[in-house]
Amino acid sequence: MMVVSLLLILNFSIGVSASSGYDRQEADACITIIQRASVKGGSNTKIEGTSYDVKKLKKTQPYVYDNEVDQIASLIQEKGPNVVPPIQIRVHNGTAYIVDGHHRYNAFLKLGYERVPIHYLHSSDLGKNLSDGTYIRTLDEILSGALLVGD
């Protein structure tokens, strides 16, 4: 297993891990950054753990409920970005697809975040039912959802 760690002077650290089961694009998705996010008027904006550029995420769900986005945005604004679970993503052919967390994604966009907390899903995580009843879509279902959204 190859592990590369860099410490940059600009007050954030990056750690990338890769093994034979991951390609370069997947390793890029596993970048861990702890930094101060630039958010309009935000003071409690430190994202801890793995984060991703919000502009590079691809939606896979054609709808969200505005009232739920507003509630999540209020919670993030009041208590900070780590109060909500990370957005689950899967990288495929260089594109980072949102698997779960479209309401959180839209709440972060509404608040002006440039990076969002994410949890990277490996291919072995897809197509499974979790103990809480949540179904994690297969890669084909994720890609089909992205085609429905079309942006």
Identify whether 15 is part of a domain: no
Identify whether 132 is part of a domain: yes
pLDDT tens digits for 27-46? 444 443 333 344 444 556 67
Identify whether 78 is part of a domain: yes
The verdict on pTM exceeding 0.75 is no
Whether 60 and 149 have beta carbons less than 8 Å apart is answered as yes
Q: How many separate domains does the chain show?
A: 1
| Parent domain of 111 | 38-149
Q: What whole-number distance in Å separates Cα of residue 50 and Cα of residue 40?
A: 21
Identify whether 82 is part of a domain: yes
Identify whether 12 is part of a domain: no
Identify whether 129 is part of a domain: yes
pLDDT tens digits for 62-116? 999 999 999 999 999 999 999 999 999 999 999 999 999 999 999 999 999 999 9
